[in-house]
Amino acid sequence: MRLNPLTVKKIQRFRSIKRGYYSLLLVIGLLVFAAIAELFINNRALIVSYEGSWRFPTYGAMIPGTEFGLDYSHETNYRELREIFREEGAGNWVIMPIVPWSPVENAFRGESMIPRPPDFARRHFLGTDRENRDILSRLVYGFRNAMIFAFGFMFFVYLIGTTLGCLMGYFGGTFDLIVQRFIEIWSNVPFLYVVIIVASVVTPTLGILLAITVLFAWTGMTYYMRTNTLKEKARDYTAAAQVLGASTPRIIFLHILPNTIATLVTFMPFTMASAITAITALDFLGFGLPRPTPSWGEMLQQGTQTMVIAPWIVTSAFSAIVIVLILITFVGEAVREAFDPKKFTVYE
C-alpha cells in the first residue's frame, strides 16, 4: 500500500514549516514526558537498594515502611528513608527522582502553610503553593490531566460530530432538517449553568466533566462535516460507487470520509486548544476536577489570589498555559497551511 503522493506532499509541506514542525515535536516531547513523569517527578524512589536486593517502587503497589525496617506500615517516605540510610552507612541507598515531590503531598509537614518561593536545595524548583505542594510537580501532572481530557474530548467530539454530520449530509431531507433544528436549540442551552448544576449535585470526575463538555461541543463539528459530505456526495465518484451497488456505509466510510480528512486534521489542534482552555476555565471557576487533583485552572485561581505574596504561582501556571496553547496553535496553523486545498488540489 503506497501512501497517496498528495498526502506525502502535505506532510513534506508541514515539515517545511519549521515553526509548526518543531512545535509539534515539542508537544510530542511534552506528552511523552508527561506520560512517564513518575520517573522524574515523584515522591517514590526510583531505586531502593536494601540489604543487597533492589526495589523499584515507582510503578506498582505501595511498599509499606516495614519492608525497609521502618516502624510504620503506611507508604514509605523515601526522602526520609534516604537520609536514614545515609546516616546508617550500612551500604543501603536510595535514588530519588529529580523532583522528589508528588503533586498532592504537602511538603513542610507540621510547619505553617504559606507558599514558599523556589528552593533548589529542597528541590522545589518552582516553589510551593498555598498548601505547600510542589508547583513543578503540579504543573506537570496538571498538564497530563489536561491532555487526557483534551484527547478524550477530541475523540468524542469527533466521533459524534463526524458521524452525525456525515449522516445529515448524506441522507439530507427530513432527518437533516430535524437534526439541524435540534442542534440550533441545543447549542443555545447555557453550558455553564449545566456544569454548575451538575457540580452542585455530584462531585465532578474527569469522566463527568468530559461528558458534559462533549455534550455541548459536538455540534460545532457537525456543520463542517455536513457541508463537506454534501459536497462530496454530489461528486460523481459517489454516483459511480452507487451504480456499482456499494452499500451506504461503504460509500460513507471508504469514499466520502477519506475526502474530508483535510477538515478533520485541520481542526484537531484547535479542538485540543479549546479543550485545554475549557478544562482550565472550569477548574478556575471551581467547577472542575475535585481537589487535590493537580490542575492548571486551580493553580491559576490560587495564583491570582496570592499574586502579591507569592507571584511564582501565577507566573508558573500562566506561562505553562500560554506556552502549551501557543505550541498547539503553531501546530494548527502549520497543519492548516499544509492542508490548504488551494496548494495541493486534486481538482483541475
Partner 1 sequence: MVSPAPTTANGHPPASKPLLEIRGLKMHFPVKGGVLMRAQKQCKAVDGVDLHVNEGETLGLVGESGCGKSTLGKCVVRLNKITGGQVTFDGTDITQLGRSALKPYRKDIQMIFQDPAESLNPRHTIGNLLAEPFIIHGLLSAKERDIKVAELLEKVGLQASAADRFPFEFSGGQRQRIGIARAIALNPRLIVCDEPVSALDVSVQSQILNLLVDLQREMRLSYIFIAHNLAVVKHISDRIAVMYLGKIVELAPADELFANPLHAYTKALISAIPEPVPGGGRAQRILLQGDVPSPIDPPEGCAFAYRSWLPTSDDQKRQPGTFREVTPGHWVELHPGTVEDYEKYL
For partner 1, which is the closer residue by CB, 242 or 306? 242
Peptide bond into 292 cis (omega under 30): yes
CA distance 143 to 149: 10
Instruction: Identify the CA nearest to 254 among candidates 237, 267, 271.
Output: 237
Give 74 or 250: the residue with its C-beta nearer to partner 1.
250
The least distance separating partner 1 from the CB of residue 246, rounded to whole angstroms, comes to: 5
Looking only at the bridges linking them, the beta strands covering 47-50 and 53-55 are antiparallel
Q: Which is nearer to partner 1, 121 or 244 (CB)?
A: 244
- The shares of helix, strand and coil residues in the chain, as percent rounded to the nearest 5, are 65, 5, 30
Cα 31 to the center of its chain, rounded Å = 8
- Minimum gap (Å) between residue 219 Cβ and partner 1: 21
Give the whole-angstrom CA distance, residue 294 versus residue 154.
Answer: 21
When the beta carbons of 59 and 237 are compared against partner 1, the nearer one is 237
Place of cell 474527569: 206
Tell me the residue type at 133: R
C-beta of 242 vs 315, nearer to partner 1: 242
Residue 47 gets which letter from DSSP? E
Alpha-carbon distance of 78 to 65, in angstroms, equals 9
Instruction: Indicate the residue among 104 and 241 with the shorter CB distance to partner 1.
Output: 241
C-alpha cell at 272: 485540543
Shortest CB 101 distance to partner 1, Å: 50
Minimum separation from the CB atom of position 170 to partner 1 (A)? 14
* In the complex, least distance from residue 213 CB atom to partner 1, rounded to whole angstroms: 32
CB-nearer residue toward partner 1: 235 or 291: 235
| Smallest separation (angstroms) from partner 1 to the CB of 94 | 56
| Of the candidates 98, 58, 65, 100, the residue with the CA atom closest to the CA atom of residue 81 | 65
Q: What are phi and psi of 122, to 5 degrees?
A: -90, 5
Q: How far is CA 167 from the centre of its chain?
A: 29
Q: Give the Cα separation of 232 and 260 in Å (integer).
A: 8
Cell 483534551, residue?
150
As measured in angstroms, the least distance from the Cβ of 4 to partner 1 is 6
Taking the least distance from each CB to partner 1, the nearer of 60 and 173 is: 173
- The stretches of 234-260 forming alpha helices (DSSP H) are 236-244, 248-250
Q: Which residues bind partner 1 (CB under 8 A)?
A: 2, 4-6, 177, 235-237, 239-247, 250, 254-255, 258-259, 261, 346-348
Decide if 129 contacts 142 (C-beta within 8 A). no
DSSP 258: G
Smallest separation, CB 276 to partner 1 (Å): 31
Q: Rounded to an integer, what distance in angstroms lies between the CA atom of residue 16 and that of residue 11?
A: 9
Q: Nearest approach, Cβ of 237 to partner 1 (angstroms)?
A: 4
The smaller minimum CB distance to partner 1, of residues 76 and 260, is found at 260
